[in-house]
Structure 1
Amino acid sequence: MSEQRTTPKTVMTSGVIYTLLICYLVITLFPMLWLFMTSLKPSGEVFDAPFAPPAVDALALDNFSRAWTAGSFGDYFFNSVLVTACTVTGVVFIGAMAAYALARFAFPGSRALLFYFLGGLMIPLQLAVVPLFFQLKAMGLLSSRVGLVLVYIGVGLPFAIFILTGFFRSLPKSLHEAALLDGCTEFGAFTRVMLPLARPGLITVAIFSFIGTWNEYFLAFMFLSGEGSEALRTLPLGLANVTIVSQYKVDWGMVFAGLVIIVIPTLIIYLLLQRHLTKGVTLGAVKG
């Protein structure tokens, strides 16, 4: 077996690739580091020395306590956790059932139904706001967590069905048949056999659903803007409300502390589940 020879061309190519990767790493990490550093500065230092690290002996840790209490980020955090948890659960479970039915059972109109669901990926949210507003109003769900969760689930289902349909199609049919022969019902075969095998896809859908719901502002602003909905605001809405809490004089220390409170859960979820993300998207999209 001949050894691969190192030539000046390959060395130069590798150098260019590593340089680009290092630049990308810096571009990605610098805003995050700057955000965390700024959240530890007093408001007066945010503009006086925007890129200087905070003084170790003068860390403004009270930015976080003021954001949590005076800025009501504690209440907003609870609302975001509740809405996001319900949304992720609904999107994953309903999306898995719909994708399983479309992937495993042939019935008239199944292909058209699949394309109908996938059509939701091409519809801008702005076009759906007005009919959704009147629909929720007619159902008495406007300015409520239930209404917002239902909207989020509807928005997240097309992507979930797209990913999970590919996963269920890639699973051997013999496993489904063996489960039925062993006495499982269709629902039992789905929950006990097929669903655990689609775990990478389920995790992928859960990650995207979590990130999209946790950081979502537009729909929450539109459907939680009624009278008495102040206590139902999620973190993005609460962050936008900081100027009002600060009596129209923006407390930048509180703002950046609030941003850190929003960002940390997303980072934790991504770091814990990142190895499933690429695998899930690749398998679901390619085999779908």
Structure 2
Amino acid sequence: MTTTDSSLDARGASSFEVTGGRGRRDRPAAKREGGMTFTHHLVLGLWALLVILPLIWTVYTSFKTSAEIQTDPFGPPAQMQWNNYSRAWTEARIGEYFLNTIIVVGSALIIVMLLGAMCAYVLARFPFPGNRFIYFSMIAGLTFPVFLAVVPLFFVLNNMGLLDGRLGLVGLILSYVAFALPFTVFFLHAFFSGLPEEISEAAAIDGAGDFRTFFQIMLPMAKPGLASVAIFNFLGLWNQFLLPLVLNRERSNHVLAQGLVNLQAQQGYRVDWGGMFASVVITVIPVLVVYVIFQRQLQGGVGPSTDK
């Protein structure tokens, strides 16, 4: 064997020993990483069971009679009681409350997303005197508890005549918009701040005005952020109870949260647990549908999109 071959073999043996030594040293770290992964999966699995099992129980309980619910609350229904849903929709007026909720939440969501996106875009892209003051005033609105504002808000809307008749829904919509706007501006401000400045400059060179640049270029680029904040706002507004309780006095204007509370209070006088569970399922279904449809947008909404 030549001297060159001997030196190559020596270098190969040395690199093998080093690699082997590094591999042995990396094994404890790999074991720790595998243990942490197993722990994470175990915790997430337990958390998923805590969320899913009550939901499954609520769904199959909605097909049971009131007697079955009281005598065997965790057992399966002997026969599917589909009429629970028809009673909940008509006799418990869940259909009417559902329509009111769609009107209030849908209108408030459209208004708050439009105003919030425009406000966040201006505060993020256009420096002017008072810019930071307005932004931090919006942030301060997040720290203001809702229950501190309901009494003065009640008198303001009452003096404006927005608590009587169907105008009560208008007052409720405006209240929803006011309380959801600070979070929307705070959330979208980071997205518009992170968008490339060169894109808006190129649009200006091509002759696009501020409105066209915003609606046709910048707004589509912030689509992940818009989808994420829309889901958060939808969940918060759909489950809102304190504002409707104080501001929504007309029974014909009640939303689902108020309807469920009234239905639960009636169980002490007229027992219909099957209809109540069916009402709960009807209330939960839109939330699940929205989340399932937009879950990828929610997961991807951690930064601005610059695909286009």
TM-score by length of 1: 0.91
Aligned residues of 2:267 and 2:273 also touching (Cα < 8 A):
no
Correspondence for 1:283 = 303
Correspondence for 2:6 = none
Tell me which amino acid in the other structure corresponds to 2:303.
L
Correspondence for 2:211 = 187
Q: Distance in 2 between matches of 1:267 and 1:243?
A: 22
1:166 to 190, 209, 214: 190
Aligned residues of 1:243 and 1:249 also touching (Cα < 8 A):
no
Q: Distance in 2 between matches of 1:10 and 1:93?
A: 45
Alignment of 1:230-249 (within 5 A): 230-243=251-264, 248-249=269-270
Give the stretch that moved more between structures: 15-24 or 26-35: 15-24
Q: Distance in 2 between matches of 1:178 and 1:93?
A: 24
Say which SS state the counterpart of residue 22 (structure 1) adopts: helix
Deviations 1:122-179 (A, max 9, x none): 0110001111111101111124111000000000001100111000000011111111
1:31 aligns with 2:30: no
Say which SS state the counterpart of residue 64 (structure 2) adopts: coil
1:146 aligns with 2:170: yes
Q: Distance in 1 between matches of 2:42 and 2:299?
A: 24
Larger radius of gyration: 2
Q: 1:8 to 1:192 in 2, by over 3 A?
A: closer
Give the stretch that moved more between structures: 26-35 or 240-249: 240-249
Note the residue ranges of structure 2 that are not aligned, 5 or more in a row. Answer: 1-18
TM-score by length of 2: 0.85
Question: How many residues are aligned here?
Answer: 278
C-alpha displacement of 1:245: 6.4
2:281 to 238, 257, 260: 260
Q: 1:5 to 1:82 in 2, by over 3 A?
A: same
Deviations 1:174-197 (A, max 9, x none): 111111221211111111111110
C-alpha displacement of 1:244: 6.7
Aligned residues of 1:87 and 1:209 also touching (Cα < 8 A):
no
Q: Distance in 1 between matches of 2:38 and 2:303?
A: 32
1:222 to 246, 260, 263: 246
Correspondence for 2:3 = none
C-alpha displacement of 1:14: 3.9
Correspondence for 1:48 = 71
C-alpha displacement of 1:246: 6.6
Q: Distance in 2 between matches of 1:61 and 1:195?
A: 45
C-alpha displacement of 1:12: 4.2
Correspondence for 1:137 = 158
Alignment of 1:79-94 (within 5 A): 79-94=100-115
Deviations 1:233-280 (A, max 9, x none): 111111122257678223111111000000000000001101111332
Aligned residues of 1:243 and 1:251 also touching (Cα < 8 A):
no
1:72 to 73, 89, 93: 93
Note the residue ranges of structure 1 that are not aligned, 5 or more in a row. Answer: none
Q: 1:204 to 1:15 in 2, by over 3 A?
A: closer
